[in-house]
Structure 1
C-alpha cells in the first residue's frame, strides 16, 4: 500500500495554512494566560507547554497507526522518525525562543 498520496496533500495544506496564519498574526499581541485555540496567538512559553502536552497525543496516534493500519515496517519506522523529529524540533525551537524573549 502506497501511503504517499495520503500524506503529501495534507502536508502541503498544513504548510500553506501555517504560513498564512503566521503572517496574519505576526505583529499581533500574544496571550500568556487563558484559553487560546489559535496556536499563533500564544507566547513562546505557552507554545512550548502545548508542544510538550502533544508528546503523549502523538505517541497514542503512532500506536493507533501501528495497530490499525496496513503499512510496512519500513514505512512505520519512517513515519515514527518523522513525527518525533518534528516534535523534538518544535520543542527545542519554542524553548529557545521562550528563553530568548525572556531575557529581553
Structure 2
C-alpha cells in the first residue's frame, strides 16, 4: 500500500519523505505546565511589539491567523496556546473555542 501511494504521489512530492510513527513512545512528565499540555518543542514567544499587535486585534480570529502571526506556541492545551512573553516570566495565553481564537490573557 505504501509503495502504491508513493508511486501515485511521487510526481507531486519530490524530496518529501513519508514519516513513520514511532512504535515505542513513552511520555513521562512529573512537572505538567498545564493539564492536558502538549509541548511543541519550540520556544514559542511573543515580543513586546507582538503583544501590542495582539492587543489591537478584533476577535474572534482563526487558529491559522494566530500561528501565522505569532508562530507555534511553547505549549498547547485544548483551550489555549501558551507563549512566553519576551523579557519576563509571564505567559500570554491565546484562548480558543474550537478553531476560533476568542481572546487572550496573561499568567
- Structure with more of its chain in helix, by fraction: 1
Larger radius of gyration: 2
TM-score > 0.5, shorter chain as reference? no
Which has the bigger relative contact order, CA under 8 A and spacing at least 6? 1
Per the shorter chain, which TM-score range?
under 0.3
- Determine which structure has the larger strand proportion and give its number: 2
Q: What TM-score comes out, normalization by structure 2 length?
A: 0.22
Normalising by the residue count of structure 1, what TM-score does the alignment of the two structures yield?
0.22
